[in-house]
């Protein structure tokens, strides 16, 4: 008897559920409480596989917060960056951004570090009408342009353009092999290269992949050896490309090795040792300040940031630190003009023009949410364990 | 068949009603208030909890009642998600609710196809085979670029809509997902209390005995496996329509392990165990994040490194299991029983005073 | 069974060699190096499993810790390599034994799956702590005897590979002798199969479990150190090592040390050949598919004992 009663009552409750889900609910308007400080959210991959990206970004934001507030804030109002960790997981990123927007009521969001986590947050920003400035390089994020999404790093296609002109003008090769990490970064770069190469009469004769955690890439390299490839382009982040450099040395392969901006760090030289010599890769000019005219605003911005970062963290800046810093700078600059209004803020960010930051000089427009251009990059070649600029 | 019949089990329907009522009022009680001290978007987290619960409830049946371990359920979760995502982005006219149903069905069909041969294996060998299936599925999600968008994933998945009603806000999705979870709960309770459930439990404790009782062990095993695959696929399909974006990273080995962990932490083979486990482990990371703010005077050096959350998570997992090896729900059950006993004692005493 | 699988495997090698020549040889030697790495981790799984029936999901983390500690002692502090090796192994071994006493031992009357979840928690914990201490960048540990590749018949190998081969051979021999020739070792195998009978010989399941965890931690740490110059050490390598090591252990037959080696070598060679023959993005899928097929054909693994395998 009791069982039947239970069933009946349960069904009634369920019916109520359905009824409630049909009536529109929630979705209330955002309350604009007066604030004693501007709250800017950030979702960064400070743990998980993408932690080497997220951690410097986090450090930059902490540094920027300190700097702005010690200089009196934005028109007297202090700034607070609320940083959430997405553990390099897209699902966690959406949880984090929802929390930042609905619970913390942030005026804009920075992040995330990886393309996957960023793409996962894009639907939320559009729905909640809050600007997102990402630190990830995947082409898909801003192509096509999403009203609410901007980025600071140079895109994959800028880096690929740099690599192609190096292949074409410096190496003068017409047949290349691609060996890329099977993850989003590697695949994105490889796709872009494969699509653009034919326009420059470069033929991709082999395309191979490896897993981020693989130990040995000799099998893929022997396959490339059997093709007429005159150079191999490796798209991935440490430690894979270092393993590949060592494997090439082991196999006695001597064709030029061109890497991605993912190896634009001293770690690659440390891991690859002598095998790293001769490797060329694209990088932001900020990593090689002497390539920027002395006395220019940009050079000063890089030197200033680099010195402040080193003083606080006893570390050299890297490209990710710059992405985070620039994202913070762009938002705080636009906040001066917009005040604590997310929608006005978006419009002001889009109006950012010739804004000198660390990664380069940003100009956004309704059709361009990337800001930078190819000239903000350069090609670096490793010689005797040190970087040299490729002119 | 000497198995405890816990309080929770005998009072299944009553517990069900209490849980349902709680879920019903939760969003009203916990609506996001900007700037409030509780640093969590509870409704949003509860939606994710409900989505994972679909998969975990099925896995609980498989693990707790049929005694079969699977380390590859992320594959079925992913198949559900990708099926509906592909259909609904390719054909914009495609009804999303049908996508969800097809996603769950395809997950079930593939579960049946691989389950038939693989379920001949037992224990760790079954674990290995399912792990392999999970890895293969992950590689296919990443490599079949034309179909799945490769590692970049699938963008612009439309929100779920059923006969013109769009589930495009967290709160609407909340009621939808939890209605589904509660239906699954009801089905599970009925199943477990039925003859089939007794057969399943027999299967877990002794296969020989089950055979002797006339339980067709092989077919039971496959049926439960397929059902758990369907539920995982359903969860995955809902996930796709909630996130509106998916990529292979969401369906890794780590997710399969998380599902199993949820089952065991919650209480394997307990009707409510799966649910308790999902809620506990989905909320745990967020609770750990705000934890330091509750304890005044905790040194900043301990909490400002982002990884402290994972250190604590790992430690808590170990501690939970050492002190509650049968799962949280068993612990709660004992807690409730103890509470009842002391309440009764108190009442008796009060009465004695009268 | 063993002859059948050996024949199939030999056939695979012969076919690869005859079709691909020196390239094929390169795949095989590279595969054997990677395979030895898997084998070493697999042995750790086997040791714990054969005495306690527990799958230790933190096994890969022991190797990770070994490599990272080696980096601290040898590369950072400048301790001589042999001393750094011993120090690192001792620390990880103590950690393994300590974990067994604190977390596994109290659960001796609980179900095996509970203990497995505890090891998952332990692996999350160790990974997080390692990242806290050493950061997330991979680090380099110098090869024991230089980096000059050794060439033969058109294939090339780095010298460290021979260290890996040698250590794998030594480890499997020691583990095999311990479990089959010493009273303690035999008693431990017995303890897993029949606790009451084993206690008659004076080996309790409790002691047995402690010894197994100690051996597995030491083995894992040593393996992690030997392979670090090839693989680079990083807080995150344990996950992948654990996954592949587990696969190798099952393939060879859980609980058998020679089986772990056979399983590891086959998995490693399969992976490289698959990467060479198929589009390389599918190499792991091919390897896992073959693994599942092998399991269906020989469900107790290649060298395992026939028990509790088929439903």
The 3-state secondary structure of A264-326, one letter per residue = CCHHHHHHHHHHHCCCEEEEEHHHCHHHCCCCCHHHHHHHHHHHHHHHHHCCCCCHHHHHHHH
Which residues of chain A make contact with C283, given a CB cutoff of 8 A? Answer: 219
Phi, psi of B95 (to 5 degrees): -65, 125
Taking a C-beta distance cutoff of 8 angstroms, is the pair B204, B63 a contact?
no
Q: For residues A299 and A295, give the distance between their C-alpha atoms in angstroms, rounded to a whole number.
A: 6
Q: Which residue of B has its CA nearest to C110?
A: B325
Question: Read out DSSP for C228-297?
Answer: HHHH-B-TTHHHHHHHHHHHHHHHH-TT-HHHHHHHHHHHHHHHHHHHHHS-GGGHHHHHHHHHHHHHHH
**Is the pLDDT assigned to residue B13 strictly greater than 90?**
no
Enter the tokens of residue C273.
């050949």
CB pairs under 8 A between A and B: 165
Q: Three-class SS of residue C98?
A: helix
The Cα of A119 is separated from the nearest Cα of chain B by a number of Å equal to: 7
Average pLDDT in chain B = 83
Give residue-wise pLDDT tens across range C81-103. Answer: 899 999 999 999 999 999 999 99
Residue B288 neighbours by CB distance under 10 Å: 17
Give residue-wise pLDDT tens across range C98-129. Answer: 999 999 989 888 888 888 889 999 999 999 89
Quick one: pLDDT at residue B176? Answer: 93
Q: For residues C227 and C239, give the distance between their C-alpha atoms in angstroms, rounded to a whole number.
A: 15
Q: Which of B146, B143, B174 is nearest to B160 (CA)?
A: B174
Q: What is the DSSP letter of A143?
A: S
Handedness of CA A274, A318, C231, A186 (dihedral sign): negative
Which residues of chain C make contact with B315, given a CB cutoff of 8 A? Answer: 121, 125
Quick one: pLDDT at residue B54? Answer: 95
Q: Who wins on pLDDT, C43 or B198?
A: C43
**Is the pLDDT assigned to residue A162 strictly greater than 70?**
yes
Give residue-wise pLDDT tens across range B92-102. Answer: 889 999 999 99
Residues A62-77 have a mean pLDDT of 89
Domain boundaries, chain B: 7-32+40-252
Q: How is chain B split among helix, strand and coil, in percent rounded to 5?
A: 75, 5, 20
The Cα of B343 is separated from the nearest Cα of chain C by a number of Å equal to: 31
Chains that touch B (3 or more CB pairs under 8 A): A, C
Res. A99 pLDDT band, cuts 50 70 90: confident
Query: C284 touching A, CB under 8 A?
Result: yes
Residue A27 neighbours by CB distance under 10 Å: 11
List the single residue in C156, C236, C284 with the smallest CB-CB distance to A252.
C156
**Is the pLDDT assigned to residue B36 strictly greater than 60?**
no
Percentage of the residues of chain C whose pLDDT score is greater than 70 = 94
Q: Which residue of C has its CA nearest to B266?
A: C114
Residues 250 through 279 of chain A touching chain C, CB cutoff 8 Å: 250-252, 267, 270-271, 273-274
**Is the pLDDT assigned to residue A206 strictly greater than 70?**
yes
Q: For residues C261 and A354, give the distance between their C-alpha atoms in angstroms, rounded to a whole number.
A: 62
Residues A73-88 have a mean pLDDT of 86
Q: For residues A109 and A97, give the distance between their C-alpha atoms in angstroms, rounded to a whole number.
A: 8
Cα B131 → chain centroid = 18
Q: Three-class SS of residue A78?
A: strand
Quick one: pLDDT at residue B39? Answer: 57
Res. B139 pLDDT band, cuts 50 70 90: very high
Pairing of strands A377-383, A280-284: antiparallel
Res. A247 pLDDT band, cuts 50 70 90: very high
Which residues of chain C make contact with B270, given a CB cutoff of 8 A? Answer: none
Quick one: pLDDT at residue B32? Answer: 56
Residue B208 neighbours by CB distance under 10 Å: 9
Pairing of strands A175-181, A131-134: unpaired
**Is the pLDDT assigned to residue A327 strictly greater than 90?**
yes
**Is the pLDDT assigned to residue B7 strictly greater than 50?**
no
Quick one: pLDDT at residue B169? Answer: 82
Quick one: pLDDT at residue A2? Answer: 42
**Is the pLDDT assigned to residue C4 strictly greater than 70?**
no
Residues 13 through 32 of chain B touching chain A, CB cutoff 8 Å: 13-14, 16-17, 20-21, 24, 27, 31-32
Q: Could you give all domains of chain A from N- to C-terminal order, each with its CATH number?
A: 37-154+295-373 (3.40.50.2300), 157-288+378-390 (3.40.50.2300)
- Which of C129, C279, C280, C282 has the most A C-beta neighbours within 10 Å, making it the best mutation to test the interface with A? C280
Res. B200 pLDDT band, cuts 50 70 90: confident
Which residues of chain A make contact with C37, given a CB cutoff of 8 A? Answer: 215
**Least confident residue range of A299-308, B36-45, B168-177, B317-326:** B36-45
Complex ipTM value: 0.84
Q: Does domain C2-297 have CATH number 1.10.3470?
A: yes
Domain boundaries, chain C: 2-297
Q: Who wins on pLDDT, A15 or B353?
A: B353
Res. B249 pLDDT band, cuts 50 70 90: confident
Highest mean pLDDT among A261-270, A344-353, B63-72: A344-353
The Cα of A223 is separated from the nearest Cα of chain C by a number of Å equal to: 6
Residue B193 neighbours by CB distance under 10 Å: 16
Percentage of the residues of chain A whose pLDDT score is greater than 70 = 91
Phi, psi of C215 (to 5 degrees): -60, -45
Quick one: pLDDT at residue A23? Answer: 47
Res. A8 pLDDT band, cuts 50 70 90: low
The Cα of B321 is separated from the nearest Cα of chain A by a number of Å equal to: 24
Res. A3 pLDDT band, cuts 50 70 90: very low
Is C272–A213 a contact, with Cβ atoms under 8 angstroms apart? Answer: no
Res. A28 pLDDT band, cuts 50 70 90: very low
Residues C159-174 have a mean pLDDT of 93
Give residue-wise pLDDT tens across range A273-292. Answer: 889 999 999 999 998 888 88
Quick one: pLDDT at residue A6? Answer: 53
**Least confident residue range of A311-325, A344-358, B332-346:** B332-346
Res. B299 pLDDT band, cuts 50 70 90: low
Res. C311 pLDDT band, cuts 50 70 90: very low
Res. C68 pLDDT band, cuts 50 70 90: very high
**Least confident residue range of A203-217, B22-36, B169-183, C54-68:** B22-36
Q: Who wins on pLDDT, C184 or A259?
A: A259
Quick one: pLDDT at residue C308? Answer: 41
Quick one: pLDDT at residue B218? Answer: 74
Quick one: pLDDT at residue A32? Answer: 43
Quick one: pLDDT at residue A87? Answer: 81
Quick one: pLDDT at residue A176? Answer: 95
**Distance, first Cα to last Cα, chain B:** 45
Quick one: pLDDT at residue C119? Answer: 92
Q: Which of B307, B309, B331 is nearest to B320 (CA)?
A: B331
Is A33–B250 a contact, with Cβ atoms under 8 angstroms apart? Answer: no
Average pLDDT in chain C = 86
**Least confident residue range of B270-274, C234-238, C299-303:** C299-303
Q: Which residues pair with A379 in a beta bridge?
A: A282, A390
């Amino acid at each position: 008897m009791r069982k039947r009663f239970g069933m009946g009552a349960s069904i009634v409750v369920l019916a109520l559920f359905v009824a409630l889900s049909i009536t529109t609910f929630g979705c209330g308007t955002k309350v604009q409480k007066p604030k004693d400080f501007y709250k800017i959210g950030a979702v960064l991959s400070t743990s998980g596989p993408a932690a080497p990206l997220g951690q410097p970004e986090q450090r930059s934001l902490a540094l920027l917060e300190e700097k702005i507030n010690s200089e009196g804030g934005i028109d007297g109002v202090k700034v607070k960056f609320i940083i959430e960790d997405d553990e390099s997981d897209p699902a966690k990123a959406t949880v984090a951004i929802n929390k930042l927007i609905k619970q913390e009521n942030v005026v804009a969001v920075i992040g995330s570090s990886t393309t996957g986590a960023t793409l996962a947050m894009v639907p939320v920003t559009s729905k909640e009408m809050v600007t997102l400035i990402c630190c990830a390089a995947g082409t898909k994020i801003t192509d096509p342009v999403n009203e609410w999404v901007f980025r600071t790093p140079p895109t994959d296609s800028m880096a690929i353009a740099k690599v192609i002109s190096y292949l074409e003008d410096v190496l003068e090769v017409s047949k290349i092999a691609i060996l890329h990490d099977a993850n989003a970064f590697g695949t994105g770069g490889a796709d872009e290269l494969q699509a653009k190469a034919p326009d420059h009469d470069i033929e991709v004769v082999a395309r191979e992949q490896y897993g981020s955690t693989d130990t040995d890439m000799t099998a893929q390299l022997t396959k490339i050896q059997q093709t007429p490839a005159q150079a191999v382009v490796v798209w991935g982040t440490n430690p894979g490309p270092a393993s590949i450099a060592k494997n090439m040395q082991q196999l006695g392969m001597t064709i030029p090795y061109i890497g991605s901006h993912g190896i634009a760090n001293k770690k690659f030289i440390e891991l690859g040792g002598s095998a790293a010599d001769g490797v060329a890769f694209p990088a932001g000019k900020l990593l090689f300040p002497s390539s920027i005219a002395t006395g220019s605003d940009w050079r000063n911005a890089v030197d200033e940031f680099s010195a402040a970062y080193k003083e606080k963290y006893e570390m050299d800046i890297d490209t990710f630190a710059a992405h985070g810093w620039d994202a913070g700078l762009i938002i705080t600059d636009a906040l001066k003009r917009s005040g604590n209004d997310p929608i006005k803020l978006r419009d002001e960010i889009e109006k950012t023009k010739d804004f000198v930051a660390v990664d380069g000089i940003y100009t956004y427009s309704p059709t361009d949410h990337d800001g930078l251009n190819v000239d903000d990059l350069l090609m670096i070649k490793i010689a005797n364990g040190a970087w040299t600029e490729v002119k | 068949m000497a198995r405890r019949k816990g309080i929770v089990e005998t009072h299944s329907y009553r517990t069900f009603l209490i849980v349902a009522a709680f879920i019903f009022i939760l969003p009203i009680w916990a609506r996001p208030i900007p700037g409030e001290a509780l640093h969590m978007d509870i409704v949003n987290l509860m939606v994710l909890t409900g989505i994972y619960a679909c998969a975990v409830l099925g896995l609980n049946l498989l693990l707790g009642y049929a005694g079969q371990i699977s380390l590859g359920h992320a594959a079925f979760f992913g198949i559900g998600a990708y099926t509906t995502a592909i259909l609904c982005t390719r054909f914009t006219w495609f009804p999303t609710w049908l996508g969800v149903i097809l996603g769950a069905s395809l997950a079930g069909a593939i579960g049946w196809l691989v389950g038939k041969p693989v379920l001949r294996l037992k224990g760790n060998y079954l674990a290995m085979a399912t792990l392999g299936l999970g890895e293969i599925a992950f590689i296919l999600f990443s490599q079949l670029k034309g179909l799945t968008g490769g590692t970049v994933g699938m963008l612009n998945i439309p929100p779920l809509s059923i006969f013109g009603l769009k589930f495009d806000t967290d709160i609407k999705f909340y009621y939808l997902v939890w209605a589904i979870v509660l239906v699954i709960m009801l089905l599970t309770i009925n199943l477990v209390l039925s003859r089939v459930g007794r057969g399943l439990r027999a299967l877990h404790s002794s296969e020989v005995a089950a055979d002797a009782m006339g339980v067709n062990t092989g077919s039971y095993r496959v049926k439960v496996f397929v059902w758990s695959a369907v539920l995982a696929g359903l969860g995955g399909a809902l996930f796709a329509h909630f996130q509106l974006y998916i990529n292979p990273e969401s369906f890794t080995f780590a997710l399969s392990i998380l599902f199993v962990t949820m089952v065991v932490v919650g209480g394997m083979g307990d009707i409510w165990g799966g649910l308790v486990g999902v809620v506990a482990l989905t909320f745990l990371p967020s609770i750990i994040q705000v934890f330091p703010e509750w304890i005044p005077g905790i040194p900043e050096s301990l909490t400002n490194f982002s990884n402290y959350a994972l250190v604590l998570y790992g430690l808590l997992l170990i501690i939970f299991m050492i002190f509650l090896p049968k799962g949280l729900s068993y612990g709660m059950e004992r807690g409730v029983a103890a509470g009842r006993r002391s309440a009764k004692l108190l009442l008796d005493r009060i009465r004695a005073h009268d | 069974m063993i002859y059948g699988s050996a024949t199939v495997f030999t056939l695979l090698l012969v076919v690869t060699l005859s079709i691909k020549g020196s390239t094929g040889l390169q795949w095989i030697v590279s595969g054997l190096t990677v395979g030895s790495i898997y084998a070493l981790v697999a042995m750790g799984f086997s040791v714990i499993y054969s005495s306690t029936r527990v799958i230790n999901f933190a096994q890969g983390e022991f190797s990770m810790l070994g490599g990272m500690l080696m980096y601290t002692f040898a590369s950072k502090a400048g301790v001589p390599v042999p001393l750094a090796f011993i120090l690192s192994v001792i620390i990880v071994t103590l950690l393994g034994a300590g974990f067994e006493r604190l977390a596994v031992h109290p659960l001796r009357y609980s179900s095996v799956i509970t203990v497995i979840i505890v090891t998952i928690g332990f692996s999350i914990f160790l990974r997080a702590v390692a990242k806290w201490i050493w950061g997330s960048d991979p680090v380099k540990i110098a090869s024991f005897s230089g980096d000059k590749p050794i060439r033969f018949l058109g294939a090339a190998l780095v010298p460290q590979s021979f260290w890996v081969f040698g250590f794998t051979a030594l480890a499997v021999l020691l583990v095999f002798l311990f479990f089959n020739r010493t009273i303690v070792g035999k008693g431990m195998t017995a303890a897993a199969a029949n606790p009451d009978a084993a206690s008659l010989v004076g080996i309790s399941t409790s002691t047995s479990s402690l010894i197994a965890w100690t051996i597995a931690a030491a083995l894992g740490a040593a393996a992690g150190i030997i392979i670090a110059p090839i693989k680079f050490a990083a807080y995150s390598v344990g996950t992948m090592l654990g996954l592949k090591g587990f696969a190798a252990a099952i393939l060879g037959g859980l609980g058998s040390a020679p089986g772990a080696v056979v399983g590891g070598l086959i998995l490693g060679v399969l992976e490289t050949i698959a990467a060479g023959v198929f589009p390389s993005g599918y190499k792991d899928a091919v390897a896992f598919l073959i693994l599942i097929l092998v399991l269906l054909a020989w469900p107790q693994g290649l060298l395992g004992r026939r028990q509790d395998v088929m439903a």
